[in-house]
Amino acid sequence: MNWVIAFILTCIAGVVLIPFVPVRWKGFIVILAIFLNSLLSGYQAAAALLGQMFSYTMPGSVITGAIPVRIDALSGWFILIVNFIFLTGGWYGLFYMNGYKYQRKKISLHAIAFLILHASLVALLSVQNSLVFLIAWEFMMFSAFICVIFEHEKESTLKAGINYLIQSHISVVLLVTGFLWVSFKTGSYDFLAITTFSSSQPGAGAMFLFLLFFVGFAIKAGFVPFHTWLPYAHPAAPAHLSGIMSGVLIKCGIYGILRMLLLIKTDYTTIGYIILTVSVISGLYGVMLAIVQHDLKRLLAYHSVENIGIIGLGIGIGCVGLGSGSYIVASLGFAGALLHTLNHALFKSLLFYAAGMVYQATHTLNIEHLGGLIKKMPQTAFFFLVAAVAICGIPPFNGFISEFIIYTGLYQLLQQAMLGSLIFVLFLILGLVLIGGLAMLCFTKAFGIVFLGNARREFHHEIQEGPLLQMVPLGLITVFMLFIGLYPQWFLTMLEGPVRLFTGNPGAAVPLFPVAFAGTLAPLSFATLGLILLILAIYWIRIRVLRNRQVSFGLTWGCGYVAPTPKLQYTAGSFVRSYVKLNKPTLTFSKDEKEVIGVFPAHSHYETNAYDKFERWLIDRPVKGLKKFLTRFLFLQNGSLQSYILYGVLFILGVLIIPMIYDTLLMLIDFLKRL
């Protein structure tokens, strides 16, 4: 209990101190507070992974009842991820926010919100009282909202923040409905009451309760079609907050889904196939839209939707394994999902941090305006490339390990499937293959257009690399990613505790199945790393051998072009033109073009923008219909003082007359009954 009090006091002390210290100290106070709270919560989380669950019941109040604080292996895994990403993101943010150091009030508010965001996330993962959980959820949403709208003077940023807040509260409505339903039936806010309720409501009741929670948490996680807030909020936020939102904030939805799977006892097979369907659609649709984006952070945001789909595939495989009683399939599914949760937090935060470095140097994230940055920003290019390789599931980095485990789970499921489910699983495998292939196409475009070739636009300021200390968290994440790729058995062993919460313990001598074949994954990663090192060694030898030779440069034959310019390079749009033509029925584009006049036009403009069809169907059309309906009542707001006085008189008359009519009807009904 002492650590809980210390955690709360540390957070309060940081919030109180931040407004009164100089700007240069605000960030350090935030980092120090998060570091201390990470030590406090991380110790308990690590102990939980080793089998020592923390449990304490706070007295609470008449309204909340007892407030249980429980950190089991599942909570511990997510708490460690949250702490690591916040520490690296906070350190990176110290330097990223230097450009705004003269905006004292904005910095103070951002720092306070950042600290509260970390505390609320840890609280969400620890508290198992539904009422207090919802309060922590609100703190998490509002602090993230404040962080997102840091540059609120921009209309697009403010719209993105409000969009995020509104859709997040739709999630809250669903969660509140589920929790109140359970509380009404059981009289308790304790999470364990959910298990009691689902046991007393087998079949449709428990299934409906799970679907209620699933949709509520899916909005936060970013599953399609509940993802439409995500591509706006991620690009609008500062880079360190984008990395944290993608790395851990949306994972609250994943944690919520996994927690409900532990608590609600229902038909796991049906749930598994529902989650698998939603997940494969999310993965494919996310990467399909990512490919056609021109904003670098928006491109990365859609890849969050894709990777949430991959995590969902692992959860779905685990559920089907539970439903069929297959320990192997369930272990592979949940282990792959949990490990990919960590892996995505690492390489996606690294990608957003690298994108932030690009924005700081160039003041733009439009891919069409960039190019050749590897010459000016080699370290940023290296980190972006490493993260791109990892997110595509290529060894020797971490993404390969978790995706391989999920693939293996699908193949194990394939061996047990009947004809109908066999075809479905084959489509899932095909979908996962397509996700990987399209991800490689997308990041080949992103890295090639942004960092290779020549600059596509002239900048009126010097483009240079960020400070060396800002690179420290990027380097730390890269080392962590490589370590997971080379030594996966260490992390799979850590996952035994969380996975056994779902699968049970078939015997102390039986190891977690993915650990058993981890020894076959590591050699693949080491072989790939060896190949990379061999190529680098050959390149180094070549440089050493040729260093004393005279080098002459000449123009390459230009296929008839006598005046080569950067405009002859591939653009982001032309790079994926074949893909766009192939998938035109599933994508929506708008064009902004200026008519070309003359043989040698001086100025021309052509721009395409992709639009989300789900956003058009589920948000734009309903909102447009609502506006159209409300315009029918605009005549009421006509600006006439006489009309407004009349509305008041009619309201008073209604208040007086309606009860009289009601009483008269009751008397008439009573009279008729007597007759």
Q: Which 3-state string (H, E, C) describes 343-372?
A: HHHHHHHHHHHHHHHHHHHHCCCEHHHCCC
- State yes or no: pLDDT of 43 exceeds 80: yes
Rounded to an integer, the average pLDDT of 320-344 is: 92
Please tell me the least confidently modeled range out of 526-535, 570-579, 635-644, 660-669. Answer: 635-644
The single-letter DSSP state of residue 457 is S
- State yes or no: pLDDT of 106 exceeds 70: yes
Q: Residue length, the chain?
A: 675
Q: What is the pLDDT of residue 17?
A: 93
> By three-state DSSP, how is residue 238 classified?
coil
The single-letter DSSP state of residue 266 is S
Q: What are the distances in angstroms from CA 6 to CA 2, 66, 119, 148, 627?
A: 6, 20, 12, 28, 50
Handedness of CA 99, 100, 104, 108 (dihedral sign): negative
List Cβ neighbours of 26 (8 Å cut-off, separation of 6 or more): 18, 107, 108, 111
List Cβ neighbours of 292 (8 Å cut-off, separation of 6 or more): 576, 579, 580, 587, 589, 610
Q: How confident is the model at residue 509 (pLDDT cuts 50, 70, 90)?
A: very low
Q: What is the pLDDT of residue 655?
A: 84
Please tell me the least confidently modeled range out of 232-236, 312-316, 399-403, 631-635. Answer: 631-635
- Write the DSSP string, 260-328: HHHH--S-HHHHHHHHHHHHHHHHHHHHHHHHT--BHHHHHHHHHHHHHHHHHHHHHHHHHHHHHT-HH
Q: What is the pLDDT of residue 392?
A: 94
Please tell me the least confidently modeled range out of 56-65, 73-82, 354-363. Answer: 56-65
| pLDDT, tens only, 107-158 | 999 999 999 999 999 999 999 999 999 999 999 999 999 999 998 888 889 9
Tokens of 315: 């959860």
Q: What is the pLDDT of residue 656?
A: 84
Q: How confident is the model at residue 262 (pLDDT cuts 50, 70, 90)?
A: very high
- State yes or no: pLDDT of 590 exceeds 80: no
Q: How confident is the model at residue 1 (pLDDT cuts 50, 70, 90)?
A: low
Rounded to an integer, the average pLDDT of 493-522 is: 74
Q: Let me know: does 365 contact 342? Beta carbons within 8 Å.
A: no
pTM of the prediction?
A: 0.92
Q: Using CA atoms, how far apart are residues 76 and 496, in angstroms rounded to an integer? A: 12
Tokens of 601: 């036009």
Q: Let me know: does 293 contact 612? Beta carbons within 8 Å.
A: no
Q: Using CA atoms, how far apart are residues 21 and 502, in angstroms rounded to an integer? A: 47
- State yes or no: pLDDT of 515 exceeds 60: yes
Q: Let me know: does 610 contact 591? Beta carbons within 8 Å.
A: no
Q: What is the residue-averaged pLDDT of the chain? A: 88
Burial of 57: CB neighbours in 10 Å, binned 0-12, 13-18, 19+? middle
| pLDDT, tens only, 188-235 | 999 999 999 888 877 788 999 999 999 999 999 999 989 899 999 988
- State yes or no: pLDDT of 282 exceeds 70: yes
Half-sphere exposure of 427 (CA within 13 A, CB side): 13
Q: Using CA atoms, how far apart are residues 443 and 293, in angstroms rounded to an integer? A: 11
Please tell me which residue, 599 or 539, carries the higher pLDDT value: 539
Q: How confident is the model at residue 516 (pLDDT cuts 50, 70, 90)?
A: low
For residue 601, cis peptide bond before it (omega within 30 degrees of 0): no
- State yes or no: pLDDT of 578 exceeds 90: no
| pLDDT, tens only, 345-376 | 999 999 999 999 999 999 999 998 898 899 99
With a pLDDT cut of 70, the percent of the chain lying above it is: 93
Q: How confident is the model at residue 257 (pLDDT cuts 50, 70, 90)?
A: very high
